[in-house]
């Protein structure tokens, strides 16, 4: 089952520009995670932000979390062709931390 929605569904920008993706969720969360998936491959964990955090950075990635709006955003600065991938947000549920996934944003970086 999917927790919420991500927008945009697809995003195409020029190399060097910044890319922003948004994720909304429905229930209260402990944390929210962002993952990247290259075409036909497994997922790579990018960053985790906890419910008591508002912003987190990792290299060129910046994640924000607004629990009042139940939304998060992922910003990739100075995009590169290698950033071309699908990006998913996910939130854990239950004691086993099953992840509930957003629909994903397909990002294309044009050289």
Is 99 one of the binding residues for other proteins (CB under 8 A)?
yes
- CB of 23: closest distance to other proteins in angstroms? 12
Contact 99, 1 (CB under 8 A): no
Is 103 one of the binding residues for other proteins (CB under 8 A)?
yes
Q: How far apart are CA 11 and CA 27, in angstroms?
A: 26
Contact 12, 110 (CB under 8 A): yes
Vertex 84 angle, CA 83 and 85, to 5°: 105
Which one of 17-25, 36-44, 66-74, 76-84 is the stretch in contact with other proteins (CB under 8 A)?
A: 36-44
| Site residues for other proteins per CB under 8 A | 1-2, 30-31, 33, 35, 40-45, 48, 88, 92, 96-104, 106
């Amino acid at each position: 089952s999917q927790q919420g929605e991500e927008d945009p569904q697809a995003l195409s920008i020029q190399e060097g520009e910044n890319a922003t993706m948004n994720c909304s969720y429905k229930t209260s969360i402990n944390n929210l995670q962002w993952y990247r998936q290259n075409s036909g491959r497994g997922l790579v964990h990018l960053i985790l932000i906890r419910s008591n955090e508002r912003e987190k950075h990792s290299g060129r990635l910046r994640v924000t979390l607004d629990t009042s709006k139940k939304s998060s955003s992922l910003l990739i600065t100075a995009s590169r062709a290698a950033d071309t991938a699908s990006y998913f947000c996910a939130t854990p549920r239950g004691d086993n931390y099953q992840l509930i996934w957003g629909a994903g944003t397909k990002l294309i970086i044009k050289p």
